[in-house]
Chain A
Amino acid sequence: MLRSGKHRQLISGDHLQSQVTPETVFLNRRTLIAGLGGAALVAATTRGGMSNAQASTRAPGNYAALPGRPSRFSIMEKPVPFADAAGYNNFYEFGLDKDDPAANAPSRLKTSPWKLSIEGLVAKPRIFDIDDLIKIAPLEERITRLRCVEGWSMVIPWVGYSLSELIKQVQPLGSAKYIEFTSLADPKQMPGLNSRVLRWPYHEALRLDEARNPLTMLTFGMYGVVLPAQNGAPVRMVVPWKYGFKSAKSLVKIRFTEAQPTTSWSLAAPNEYGFYSNVNPNVDHPRWSQATERVLGVESLFAVRRKTELFNGYAELVSGLYAGLDLKKFY
């Protein structure tokens, strides 16, 4: 059922170790130039480039370990360096620029204690403590490609388990058709809440059958460690066949509903961001093409853009969910 070229059972658990590239020489971006007094112009114009000297796919030692068993859902691609995944983020609650979350979140986001409330049309609503939530099912490490709607992608080894394990526990009622995800929106911790780009708290949603698909992942870690704050600690979604913004971060509530919930980006720009937001090279964003993507974390500046795949390469596993659905209309 799974294509052998892409989704292969991993034999060894230390595949990541074998893919570590040699560290590049670290060059302090300011040492050569600052002396010429050019620091001001440089700072004004080149802010946002986080130093990426260590092309290592290993997490730095100061993160708590969170290993996962190899998953049959992993793609056989090399993950981007940890510094990229943890340094280039869209997490507007912590600022609109890509380097804002890494700069602001770690010192502000309090990830313990943390509660995730399961509510709505379920037989067993419950408020989980994060320490209990993480134990519901064995943790897997899944290497998936995160495809951002902006037109770039990163291969990231996430750690978590299928959301269906959690759904089983809370027993949705027959009337439940959708799941709504709500992220933390605490103005005391999140300086970006002043932004009017989105209405807060951040909301996302899936159809119940999309949520039950084993690919949909409740995620607690990456690169064998707990999620950094900027990546949506301590618990987030990963929905690999949809654009990245569907994978809500820092979840506080999961609610089962009968009616289709509104999602933050659909509210902000309904003609640009739809409920489904499945990765689809045939359906352009109104302001740019989705036919190709820039693959991040590769060596060459001039690497050819990758042809985007329908459902981000997961068609075999998810296209059944959309049989008969006009994907251009229901974007």
Chain B
Amino acid sequence: MHADLKSQTRLLRLSLFLWAATPLVDLFLLALSGNLGANPQETLLRSTGMCCLVLLLVTLSITPLRRLLDWTELVRLRRMLGLWAFAYAFIHLLGFWAFEHEFLWSAVLKDAFKRPFVTVGLVGFALLIPLAITSNQWSMRQLGARWKTIHQLIYAVALLGCIHFFLHRAGKNNFFDPSIALAVTVVLLGLRWRWRRPRHH
């Protein structure tokens, strides 16, 4: 029984890895073949942004799902999905740096002081960095209880991602997609809040 569950999880993990990797491979191939449409830079930025947000939300849904399905093994997937979210965020930022600011970090920084959606995006990414760096066994051992505290930043990152999305859409009044993202985020965070364990000191 236990062995079955383990191999099930392994299969699920492989599938999810491929699922998460697919858009990246797809975008890469489309870029090479010149099939990203009339504004390929925009397509790349939007696609990587969307993938990051989706993966963030999937990562956030692991714990609620584990509880609802009584499937502890699911937690093993969380690190991989979280790191994929970081990967897309990183590529999204690199794209912004390359395509919007022609490889000038000084210009990116200046933009962060000018445009709120850039500010929010950069802060969100900055918060992801410690999470990515500590996503390994060694860090968990070194940090102990602090590891969990640090990783609560993921809630802030998810919210910042939604705000970044809303701000980016300002002007078109097309808030349909960001609203869905926010609704999912709120539900997931709400569940976490409801199930929070009282602190033991």
Contact = CB atoms under 8 A, between A and B. Distances in A.
B18 interface: yes
B171 A49 contact: no
B46 A48 contact: yes
A299 B41 CA distance: 12
B54 A44 contact: yes
Contacts of A80: 38
Main SS at interface, chain A: loop
Given A38-B18, A45-B47, A197 B174 contact: yes
Interface stretch (A22-30, A162-170, A175-183, A201-209): A22-30
Interface in A259-297: 269, 272, 287-288, 294, 296-297
B5 interface: no
B34 A24 contact: yes
A33 B54 contact: no
B22 A36 contact: yes
B193 interface: no
B158 to A, nearest CB: 17
Contacts of B51: 41, 45
Given A33-B22, A304-B102, A46 B47 contact: yes
B102 to A, nearest CB: 6
Given A29-B26, A52-B37, A88-B37, A196 B173 contact: yes
A38 B22 contact: yes
Interface string B12-51: 0001001111110111011101111111111110110011
Given A29-B30, A38-B18, A301-B31, A87 B174 contact: no
Nearest to B21: A38
Interface residues of A, number: 47
Interface string A1-42: 000000000000000000000001101010011001110011
B27 A46 contact: yes
Contacts of A25: 33
A296 B39 contact: yes
B38 A87 contact: yes
A248 interface: no
Contacts of A305: 102
B36 A52 contact: yes
B165 to A, nearest CB: 13
A85 B20 CA distance: 32
Given A41-B19, A45-B50, A301-B40, A269 B171 contact: yes
B141 interface: no
Given A45-B23, A197-B173, A301-B40, A27 B33 contact: yes
B18 A36 contact: yes
A123 interface: no
A288 B172 CA distance: 14
A304 B104 CA distance: 12
A49 B98 contact: no
28 contacts: A27-B30, A27-B33, A29-B26, A29-B30, A36-B18, A37-B19, A37-B22, A38-B18, A44-B50, A44-B54, A48-B43, A49-B40, A51-B35, A51-B37, A52-B34, A52-B35, A52-B37, A52-B38, A96-B172, A99-B37, A272-B171, A287-B171, A294-B39, A294-B41, A301-B41, A301-B99, A302-B99, A305-B102
Interface of A: 24-25, 27, 29, 32-33, 36-38, 41-42, 44-46, 48-53, 55, 80, 83-85, 87-88, 96, 98-99, 152, 154, 195-197, 269, 272, 287-288, 294, 296-297, 299, 301-302, 304-305
